[in-house]
Amino acid sequence: MKKLITIVLSIAITSYAGLGQRKIVNLPDLPGFVTLKCDFHMHTVFSDGNVWPTVRVDEAWRDGLDAISITDHIEYTPKEDFIPVDHNAAWKIAENYARERNMILVQGTEITRKMPPGHFNALFIQDASLMAVDSVWDALEAAIKQGAFLQWNHPGWKSQQPDGIPRMYEIHYKLIKNGWLHGIEFFNDSEYYPLVLTFCKQYNLAVMANSDNHGVISEEYIEPFYFNRPMTLVFAKARTHDALKEALFAGRTMAYFRDKIAGREELVKPFFYQCISISKPFYENDKSIFFEVSNKSDIPFYLENGATDAPTTITLAANSVTRIIVDKNVDNPLVYNVKNVLTGEDEVLKVELRY
Q: Which of residues 268-307 bind a copy of itself (CB under 8 A)?
A: 279, 282-283, 285, 290, 292, 294, 296, 300, 302
Among 84, 126, 145, 287, binds a copy of itself (CB under 8 A): 84
Would you say 285 or 308 has its CB closer to a copy of itself?
Answer: 285
Would you say 9 or 354 has its CB closer to a copy of itself?
Answer: 9
Amino acid at 55: V
The DSSP bridge partners found for residue 121 are: 110, 151
* Residue 330 lies near a copy of itself (rule: CB under 8 A): no
* Residue 2 lies near a copy of itself (rule: CB under 8 A): yes
* Residue 32 lies near a copy of itself (rule: CB under 8 A): no
C-alpha closest to that of 215 among 59, 31, 23, 33: 59
C-alpha closest to that of 326 among 310, 343, 350, 339: 310
Number of residues counted as binding a copy of itself (CB under 8 A): 81
Cβ contacts of 348 within 8 Å, gap of 6 or more: 337, 338, 339, 340, 341, 342
Among 7, 31, 162, 308, binds a copy of itself (CB under 8 A): 7
C-alpha 29, offset from chain centre: 15
C-alpha closest to that of 273 among 186, 155, 152, 354: 354
Q: Which stretch binds a copy of itself (CB under 8 A): 168-176, 208-216, 262-270, 347-355?
A: 208-216
Using CB under 8 A, which residues numbered 114 to 173 contact a copy of itself?
154, 157, 159
Decide: 87 and 44 in contact? Cβ < 8 Å: no
What's the length of the chain?
355
Would you say 1 or 308 has its CB closer to a copy of itself?
Answer: 1
Would you say 1 or 179 has its CB closer to a copy of itself?
Answer: 1
Among 174, 177, 287, 323, binds a copy of itself (CB under 8 A): 323
Would you say 144 or 262 has its CB closer to a copy of itself?
Answer: 262
Q: How many CB atoms lie within 10 A of CB 117?
A: 21
